[in-house]
Amino acid sequence: MLDVLYHTSQGEGKISEVVKSAPFRSENDGWLSQGYYFWEGFIEHAHYWGKTHYHGSYYIFKAKAVNNICVFSLLEPIHLKIFNKTCDLIGKNRNDITVRDVINFLRDKTKFSFDAIKAYTSFGSIREKWIPYVESNTRQLPTMPAVQICIFDKRSIARIEFVYSSLENDCSEDFIMV
């Protein structure tokens, strides 16, 4: 089961019109392949994305996936083993392939029956929260990990609602799309 999901979109158009269309599908440029992208659990990552990728002009939506969604999680050993075997199958050198290449291969050339992909990403410059495992240790536990979900089909999204606008002139009404 997926936690609360946050979707960031560019702050263009009237919010009432944007709400009718949200979430927005990423095409070929998505790092986890084509689909609807969400941040799991932490709205801070959605804000970071809006500030850095939409130049501070953005909307955030809160969503919930359907209960029976089948997720290929790159946080789970069994799925990482499949991912690694696929890397070995399609690329002689791991530097020659991308995460998107592997996922697209799985989706297009195998009996891939998942509704979504889940993966951890490190922004590098984002202020992720970390705590050391022990004193004076450089290894740390992420307490606000940047986990992204790519849902392939809009029908796997049970509910989405508008929660934030970075634009001062937008109405503050909540809009809900079921």
Lowest mean pLDDT among 13-17, 31-35, 54-58: 13-17
Strands (E), the chain: 5-10, 25-26, 35-40, 58-65, 71-73, 116-120, 130-132, 140-142, 147-151, 157-165, 176-177
What Å distances lie between residue 169 and 88, 102, 165, 173, CA to CA?
A: 51, 43, 9, 12
What Å distances lie between residue 106 and 33, 59, 65, 70, 112, CA to CA?
A: 10, 32, 22, 15, 6
Cis peptide before 77 (omega within 30 of 0): no
Residue 158 and residue 67 in contact, taking contact as beta carbons nearer than 8 Å: yes
> What is the pLDDT at residue 144?
85
Q: How many CB atoms lie within 10 A of CB 146?
A: 20
Query: How do residues 43-79 score in pLDDT, each as one tens digit?
Result: 999 999 999 989 999 999 999 999 999 999 999 999 9
> What is the pLDDT at residue 172?
42
Q: How many CB atoms lie within 10 A of CB 169?
A: 6
Residue 151 and residue 65 in contact, taking contact as beta carbons nearer than 8 Å: yes
CB-facing half-sphere around the CA of 159: CA atoms within 13 A:
10
CA-based angle 173:19:51, to the nearest 5?
A: 85
CA dist., res. 115 & res. 154, Å (int): 10
Q: Parse the chain into domains and list their residue ranges.
A: 5-177
**Is pLDDT at 168 greater than 80 in this prediction?**
no
pTM of the model: 0.86
